[in-house]
């Protein structure tokens, strides 16, 4: 007989299935090793609220101030319409105040929104202009202009007696200027910093300044009195049509074959400053030059700019001189402006002399001839 000891007894199917489930089921008390989280590439973004603006300036001149006065409280005149930010505006001026009792002894000025069925936010300045002294400014922070709020400004803009005693009223004329800044709806910009490239500012002028200072590959030498200045023909020709004609054109003659090109009627310091501007498009530092010496250098630099047809440099010098007029030198500055066709500087000199009411001092300080020229300019 076959014994049962060596025979494997078949397991019931349900038992095998049950044990398999039991073995696979997780044990709530058992600790399992933590799985590593997948590594994600990190990015950084930044968003910005950008508010675009549109700016426009309009000047409204009141010619015959005395004739406008007396129109009556609440009576006004308005400027022509002008555009700013795609909308239309005008300046409204009340010679005897707007229609309120507390403005009777004042002039009133307002900015008026003319566009229909529109709404916009804008800030503005209303200014009385004087070419010599500081402007009188009434500044308004951004406000909403729409059909219900068309007019913003100041009913007591300036007391009439103060205005009539001020330098803002000249030759019975009053100049009101309005600077409007329209604020558009903010827009959101999203930038992925990983792909943002920071571009440094241009250093071309610095490099050219170093080239001038190092004198590398200089191919022309200028002699100004006892000083010599190496330079580069191509840079000079690029910046000045006069240098271009002298160095490359018919005017050059035998100049470029000489060891030195002599510059007449100019001081070395002036020519050095001229070269600095040619290479760097900026004036050299003048921190160590004070008072009249600085002003004289600027005057000579203006003459040099005119001589070499460098209009931008001439205008820069003209602007500096306009802001540094005084009684002792204004007549000489006027003569300089007249000689070199500097219309802005000439106008500023004339206004300075007339507004200062010191014609006699100017004549005494500059001599009879220059005094006569000033009188003729007025």
pLDDT per residue, tens digit, the chain (378 aa), is 444 333 333 444 434 333 433 444 445 444 544 555 555 556 778 888 988 899 999 999 999 999 999 899 999 999 999 999 999 999 999 999 998 878 889 999 999 999 999 999 999 999 998 866 677 888 889 999 999 999 999 999 999 999 999 989 988 999 999 999 999 888 888 877 666 678 899 999 999 999 999 998 999 999 999 999 999 999 999 999 999 999 998 766 665 566 789 999 999 999 999 999 999 999 998 888 776 788 999 999 999 999 999 999 999 999 999 988 888 889 899 999 999 999 999 999 988 888 766 566 565 555 433 433 333 333
Domain extents in the chain: 51-187, 203-280, 285-368
Give the model's pLDDT for residue 369: 34
**What's the N-to-C CA distance of the chain in angstroms?**
149
**Cβ 371 vs Cβ 349: under 8 Å:** no
Give the model's pLDDT for residue 136: 82
Nearest C-alpha neighbor of 138 from the set 147, 129, 150: 129
CATH number of 285-368: 3.30.710.10
Give the model's pLDDT for residue 46: 84
What fold is seen in the domain 203-280?
Potassium Channel Kv1.1; Chain A (3.30.710)
Give the model's pLDDT for residue 13: 41
Is there a shared CATH topology between the 203-280 domain and the 285-368 domain? yes
Give the model's pLDDT for residue 108: 94
Give the model's pLDDT for residue 51: 85
What is the signed CA dihedral for 21, 25, 27, 32, rounded to 10 degrees? 130
Give the model's pLDDT for residue 374: 33
Give the model's pLDDT for residue 101: 79
3-state secondary structure the chain: CCCCCCCCCCCCHHHHHHHHHHHHCCCCCCCCCCCCCCCCCCCCEEEEEECCEEEEEEEEEEECHHHHCCCCCCCCEECCCEEECCEEEEEEEECCCCCCHHHCCEEEEEEEECCCCCCEEEEEEEEECCCCCCCEEEEEEEEEECCCCCEEEEEEEEEHHHHHCCCCEECCEEEEEEEEEEECCCEEEEEEHHHCCCCCCCCHHHHHHHHHHHCCCCCEEEEECCEEEEECHHHHHHHCHHHHHHHHCHHHCCHHHCCCEECCCCCHHHHHHHHHHHHHCCCCCCCCCCHHHHHHHHHHHHHHHHHCCCHHHHHHHHHHHHCCCCCCCHHHHHHHHHHCCCHHHHHHHHHHHHHHCCHHHHHHHHCHHHHHHHHHHC
Give the model's pLDDT for residue 58: 96
Q: How far apart are the C-alpha atoms of 1 and 116, rounded to whole Å? A: 117
Report, at the CATH architecture level, how domain 51-187 is classified: Sandwich (2.60)
Give the model's pLDDT for residue 367: 45
Q: How far apart are the C-alpha atoms of 342 and 332, rounded to whole Å? A: 13
Give the model's pLDDT for residue 370: 41
State pTM to two decimals: 0.50
């Amino acid at each position: 007989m076959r014994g049962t000891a060596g025979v494997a007894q078949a397991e019931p199917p349900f038992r095998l299935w049950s044990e398999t489930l039991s073995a696979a089921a997780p044990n709530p008390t058992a600790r399992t090793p933590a799985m590593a989280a997948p590594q994600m590439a990190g990015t950084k973004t930044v968003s910005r609220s950008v508010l675009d603006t549109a700016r426009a300036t309009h000047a409204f001149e009141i010619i015959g101030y005395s004739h406008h006065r007396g129109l009556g409280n609440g009576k006004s005149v308005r400027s022509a319409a002008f555009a700013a930010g795609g909308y239309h505006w005008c300046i409204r001026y009340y010679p005897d105040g707007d229609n309120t009792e507390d403005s009777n002894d004042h002039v009133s000025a307002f900015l008026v929104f003319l566009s229909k069925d529109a709404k916009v936010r804008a800030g503005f300045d209303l200014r009385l202009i004087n070419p010599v002294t500081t402007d009188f400014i009434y500044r308004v922070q951004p406000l909403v202009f729409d059909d219900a709020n068309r007019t913003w400004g100041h009913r007591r803009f300036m007391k009439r007696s103060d205005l009539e005693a001020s330098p803002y009223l000249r030759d019975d004329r009053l100049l009101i200027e309005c600077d409007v800044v329209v604020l558009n709806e903010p827009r959101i910009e999203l930038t992925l910093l990983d792909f943002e490239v920071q571009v440094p500012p241009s250093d071309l002028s610095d490099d050219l300044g170093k080239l001038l200072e190092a004198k590398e590959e200089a191919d022309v030498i200028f002699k100004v009195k006892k000083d010599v200045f190496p330079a580069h023909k191509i840079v000079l020709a690029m910046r000045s049509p006069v240098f271009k004609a002298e160095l490359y054109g018919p005017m050059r003659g035998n100049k470029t074959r000489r060891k030195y090109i002599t510059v007449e009627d100019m001081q070395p310091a002036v020519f050095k400053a001229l070269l600095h501007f040619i290479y760097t498009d900026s004036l050299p530092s003048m921190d160590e030059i004070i008072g009249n010496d600085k002003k004289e250098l600027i005057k000579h630099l203006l003459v040099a700019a005119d001589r070499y047809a460098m209009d931008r440099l001439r205008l820069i010098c003209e602007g500096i001189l306009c802001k540094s007029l005084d009684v002792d030198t204004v007549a000489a500055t006027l003569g300089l402006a007249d000689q070199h066709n500097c219309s802005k500087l000439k106008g500023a000199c004339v206004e300075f002399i007339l507004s200062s009411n010191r014609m006699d001092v100017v004549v005494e300080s500059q001599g009879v001839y220059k005094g006569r020229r000033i009188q003729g300019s007025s």
